[in-house]
């Protein structure tokens, strides 16, 4: 007779919680692979944009959602990954080498930058990384011999084993490429979470004092998280460059950093699903606002700051009424149905007290 002891963290250790979840995700991947035959090129481009934003969101989620380190400078690492990949390909490296090399280079530079930055906490770390994002614009302009300055760089055509992939010429091939990268990044993210390193990230996020008491090296853990986060973000930046076709110093502004942070907060901090849900909001909300404006007041009228204002309003509403984001709301609804009729409203009451160790840092 086999006795199976279940633990509270068993679902977190296993790659999939159960067989049903595996079947659902497998079906979702099959639908995603068949998507180019189900929708036209315009909507396929929008879905591709969602996947690219989701990869960037996974990068920031690793640092902010899992390790608890706020960052407003990830636009700089998007730019670094983008320019690195394009420059590598211009020097003759094939895409299959240039693309991962750009991610590795971005991760290494991110780790080096993290060594002094991780000494800061909270809002001070956010301000320091925001300064990095602002400096990236000037650095791109000053390094004109390499980056072409304000003139920008054109993304070359991707060639994989003789198959040419271009965002405008072959949108279906480019979509499949982005889909493969998104799946690989998601699997890497998930496997990190169920490893001892992922547990260390969560411990640092919840309480640095408690993590230190458990023998976790705080500075090293933060630096590793920063490096992995920047590497994934660099891959997303490279794909953004190929998606837009041309990149300049204005492509990766501080607005992108703020949008990324808003995206993971709206989607749900600390969850893989949150990166994808937030990416859907970021990618499709501008299209929705454009259609709504044309319907209500006509297409010839411009409203400056409309998109930024709506984004800010949505963020405030989520912080006030649903801090766990879209994924958190979905989890509450699912748990309510699973426990019905025994579910109660107070089950999801927000905790307003803090650990004493958290107050002491």
- DSSP codes, 229-247: HHHHHHHHHHHHHHHHSEE
The token pair that represents 100 in the structure block:
């991962």
How many Å separate Cα 137 from the centre of its chain?
21
Is 302 a residue whose pLDDT tops 90?
A: no
Average pLDDT, the chain: 85
- The pLDDT score that the predictor gives to residue 176 is 94
Report pLDDT digits (tens) over 205-215: 888 888 888 88
Pairing of strands 246-247, 153-154: antiparallel
Distances (CA, A) of 221 to 90, 193, 200, 256: 35, 13, 7, 26
- The pLDDT score that the predictor gives to residue 105 is 95
Distances (CA, A) of 272 to 133, 275, 301, 319, 327: 25, 6, 38, 19, 9
Three-point CA angle 118, 207, 114, nearest 5°: 10
Least confident among 230-244, 248-262, 341-355:
341-355
Most confident of the ranges 21-25, 37-41, 76-80: 76-80
Report pLDDT digits (tens) over 258-270: 889 889 999 988 8
Instruction: Tell me the C-alpha distance between 181 and 232, whole Å.
Output: 10
How many Å separate Cα 88 from the centre of its chain?
24
Is 292 a residue whose pLDDT tops 80?
A: no
Contact 225, 67 (CB under 8 A): yes
Given the structure tokens 């980056």, which residue do they identify?
A: 147
Regarding predicted confidence, which is higher, 134 or 14?
Answer: 134
Is 351 a residue whose pLDDT tops 60?
A: no
Largest CA distance in the chain: 74
Contact 140, 87 (CB under 8 A): no
Least confident among 114-128, 176-190, 236-250:
114-128
- The pLDDT score that the predictor gives to residue 87 is 93
- The pLDDT score that the predictor gives to residue 349 is 64
Instruction: Tell me the C-alpha distance between 26 and 22, whole Å.
Output: 6
Q: Could you tell me which of 89, 354, 113, 90 has the C-alpha nearest to residue 233?
A: 113
- The pLDDT score that the predictor gives to residue 97 is 94
Q: Could you tell me which of 189, 181, 188, 137 has the C-alpha nearest to residue 158?
A: 181
Least confident among 186-190, 286-290, 306-310, 345-349:
345-349
Angle between helices 218-244 and 196-206 (to 10 degrees): 100
- The pLDDT score that the predictor gives to residue 10 is 45
**What does pTM read for this prediction?**
0.89
Regarding predicted confidence, which is higher, 328 or 351?
Answer: 328
Report pLDDT digits (tens) over 110-123: 999 998 888 888 78
Q: Give the pLDDT mean for 343-351.
A: 64
Q: Give the pLDDT mean for 52-80.
A: 91
3-class secondary-structure state, position 89:
helix
**DSSP label at residue 65:** I
Instruction: Tell me the C-alpha distance between 181 and 56, whole Å.
Output: 11
- The pLDDT score that the predictor gives to residue 51 is 95
Beta-strand runs (E) in 129-229: 153-154, 158-160, 163-165
How many Å separate Cα 116 from the centre of its chain?
23
Instruction: Tell me the C-alpha distance between 176 and 180, whole Å.
Output: 6
Instruction: Tell me the C-alpha distance between 160 and 89, whole Å.
Output: 12
Regarding predicted confidence, which is higher, 24 or 52?
Answer: 52
The token pair that represents 19 in the structure block:
């067989």
The rounded percent of the chain whose pLDDT value lies above 70 is 89
């Amino acid at each position: 007779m086999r006795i199976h002891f279940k633990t509270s963290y068993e679902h977190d250790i296993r790659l999939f919680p159960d067989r049903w979840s595996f079947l659902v995700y497998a079906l979702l991947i099959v639908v995603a692979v068949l998507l180019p035959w189900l929708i036209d090129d315009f909507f396929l481009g929008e879905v591709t944009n969602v996947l690219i934003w989701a990869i960037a969101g996974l990068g920031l989620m690793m640092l902010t959602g899992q390790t608890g380190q706020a960052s407003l400078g990830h636009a700089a690492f998007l730019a670094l990954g983008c320019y690195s990949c394009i420059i590598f390909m211009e020097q003759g490296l094939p895409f299959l080498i240039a693309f991962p090399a750009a991610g590795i280079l971005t991760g290494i530079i991110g780790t080096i930058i993290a060594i002094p930055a991780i000494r800061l906490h909270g809002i001070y770390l956010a301000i320091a990384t925001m300064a990095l994002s602002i400096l990236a614009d000037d650095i791109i302009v000053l390094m004109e011999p390499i980056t072409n300055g304000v003139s920008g760089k054109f993304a070359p055509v991707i060639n994989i084993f003789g198959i040419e992939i271009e965002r405008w010429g072959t949108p279906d091939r480019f979509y499949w490429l982005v889909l493969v990268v998104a799946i690989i990044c998601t699997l890497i993210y998930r496997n990190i979470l169920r490893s001892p390193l992922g547990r260390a990230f969560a411990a640092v996020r919840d309480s640095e004092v408690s993590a230190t008491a458990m023998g976790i090296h705080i500075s090293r853990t933060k630096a590793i998280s920063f490096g992995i986060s920047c590497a994934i973000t660099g891959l997303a930046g490279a794909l953004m460059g190929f998606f837009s076709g041309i990149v300049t110093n204005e492509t990766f502004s501080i607005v992108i950093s703020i949008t990324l942070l808003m995206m993971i907060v709206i989607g749900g901090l600390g969850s893989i699903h949150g990166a994808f849900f937030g990416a859907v909001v970021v990618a499709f909300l501008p299209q929705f606002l454009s259609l709504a404006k044309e319907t209500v007041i006509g297409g010839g009228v411009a409203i400056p700051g409309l998109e930024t204002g709506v984004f800010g309003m949505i963020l405030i509403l989520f912080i006030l009424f649903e801090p766990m984001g879209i994924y958190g709301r979905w989890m509450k609804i699912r748990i309510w149905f699973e426990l019905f009729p025994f579910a109660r409203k107070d089950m999801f009451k927000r905790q307003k007290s803090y650990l004493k160790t958290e107050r002491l840092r």
